[in-house]
């Protein structure tokens, strides 16, 4: 079954509806899953009842494209770890983060460092990934010591640890090159990243109603409203929204619009200077407007989880609806970003060793 979100012709919907109803019954009756083909087994296992219901009730015109969840405000806004004074978040800042779903910008790197790094990032962006074997902006930290040294710098990890806890893993990174006059990245949100292939979640948090994953987004160029800095819908991390197939909006290759209240008063436009970073919950609705300038806007991000969250578990590959291509996971692994991985729940890459094994490895450290 092709799960790509799109408006389907009526005849297809008429055929798919009873199949969905049958799968829903199969799930409700707890019939054996092992006899199902792989794709159907994933759907029965990972789709919530509400995911089936929205599709069926709407005649396959609306859907949840990621696992639904609701964020419960935590009882305390105390930081989860103690860090050096320069990186400390106040309880007021943490409360604001819990209410808004994003926080920053914070200073991390100098303008000169970012200007110098820009060339390296741009050069790598168009080369074949050593992890996946094709050109992709994903997970270049596994082959770029300098990218990893930025991502793992205490200016970033100390801030994230106060929100997520002391022991942290990076499970994914991405370079975001927004070319001159590039279109908007539409408002979107993700919970467990089932949105990637609609079959299996990427991450398996013990409790989906907590914040179990944060995104760190670092600006290499100044990001402004004109060249497409990030925008957030304040407080929208409280629940996942449904999407409506079709319409004018799109998200990379997919064509749908997220159903949420577009009240302009809730939309925060957040300029970020080169070398600064933001932290946000990926389920906080966010996007970036078109780049209306003649220059690119470069940034990189990473997705961070606590060590009690498994990633991909036994998955061999996934097919990204958004970034194209089949991502074989044999060279992929989580990397320890901070603290210790006591749980060892996912395939892990020893990043120091991986970097040392690179052809023409040049270990590189940030200046203290």
Residue numbers at the binding site for ligand AKG (CB under 6 A): 176, 178, 185, 215, 217, 228, 282, 286, 288, 299, 301
Nearer to ligand AKG, 5 or 228 (CB): 228
CB of 43 to ligand AKG, least distance (A): 25
Q: What is the SS3 assignment for 128?
A: strand
DSSP structure class, residue 254: B
CB of 66 to ligand AKG, least distance (A): 13
Nearest to 192 by CA among 124, 283, 115: 283
Answer whether 134's CB lies under 8 Å from 60's CB.
Answer: no
Answer whether 268's CB lies under 8 Å from 234's CB.
Answer: yes
313's tokens? 């578990």
CB of 329 to ligand AKG, least distance (A): 20
Residue with tokens 């013990």: 206
How would you class 18 by CB atoms within 10 Å of its CB: exposed for 0-12, middle for 13-18, buried for 19 or more?
A: exposed
CB of 304 to ligand AKG, least distance (A): 12
CB of 282 to ligand AKG, least distance (A): 6
Indicate the Cα dihedral angle 107, 109, 110, 114, nearest 10°: -130
Residue 160 CA to residue 341 CA, distance in Å, equals 16
CB of 191 to ligand AKG, least distance (A): 13
Residue 2 CA to residue 272 CA, distance in Å, equals 38
Nearer to ligand AKG, 54 or 114 (CB): 114
Nearer to ligand AKG, 8 or 283 (CB): 283
Nearest to 313 by CA among 192, 209, 149, 157: 192
Nearer to ligand AKG, 178 or 237 (CB): 178
Nearer to ligand AKG, 176 or 332 (CB): 176
Nearer to ligand AKG, 88 or 269 (CB): 269
């Amino acid at each position: 079954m092709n799960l790509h979100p799109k408006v389907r012709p009526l005849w297809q919907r008429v055929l798919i509806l009873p199949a969905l109803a049958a799968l829903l019954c199969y799930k409700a009756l707890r019939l054996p899953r092992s006899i199902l083909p792989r794709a159907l087994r994933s759907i029965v296992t990972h789709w919530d009842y509400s995911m089936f219901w929205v599709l069926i009730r709407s005649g396959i015109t609306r859907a949840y494209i990621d696992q639904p969840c609701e964020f419960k405000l935590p009882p305390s806004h105390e930081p989860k770890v103690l860090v050096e004074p320069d990186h400390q978040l106040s309880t007021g800042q943490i409360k604001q983060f819990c209410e808004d779903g994003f926080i920053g910008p914070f200073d991390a790197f100098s303008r000169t460092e970012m200007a110098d790094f820009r060339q390296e990032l741009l050069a790598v962006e168009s080369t074949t990934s050593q992890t996946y074997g094709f050109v992709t902006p994903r997970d270049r930290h596994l082959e770029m010591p300098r990218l990893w040294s930025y991502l793992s710098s205490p200016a970033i990890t100390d801030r994230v640890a106060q929100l997520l806890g002391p022991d942290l893993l990076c499970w994914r990174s991405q370079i975001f090159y927004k070319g001159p006059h590039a279109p908007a990245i539409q408002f979107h949100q993700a919970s467990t990243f089932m949105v990637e292939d609609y079959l299996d979640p990427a991450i398996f948090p013990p409790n989906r109603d907590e914040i179990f994953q944060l995104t760190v987004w670092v600006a290499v160029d100044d990001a402004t409203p004109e060249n497409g800095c990030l925008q957030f819908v304040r407080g929208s991390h409280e629940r996942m929204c449904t999407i409506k197939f079709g319409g004018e909006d799109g998200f990379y290759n997919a064509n749908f619009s997220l159903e949420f209240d577009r009240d302009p008063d809730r939309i925060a436009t957040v300029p970020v200077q080169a070398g600064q970073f933001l932290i946000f919950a990926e389920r906080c609705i966010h996007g970036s407007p078109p780049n209306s300038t003649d220059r690119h806007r470069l940034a990189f991000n990473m997705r961070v989880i606590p060590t009690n969250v498994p990633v991909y578990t036994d998955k061999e590959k996934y097919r990204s609806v958004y970034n194209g291509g089949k991502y074989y996971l044999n060279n992929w692994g989580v990397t320890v970003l901070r603290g210790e991985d006591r749980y060892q729940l996912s395939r892990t890459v020893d990043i120091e060793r991986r970097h040392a094994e690179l052809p023409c490895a040049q270990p590189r450290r940030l200046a203290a």
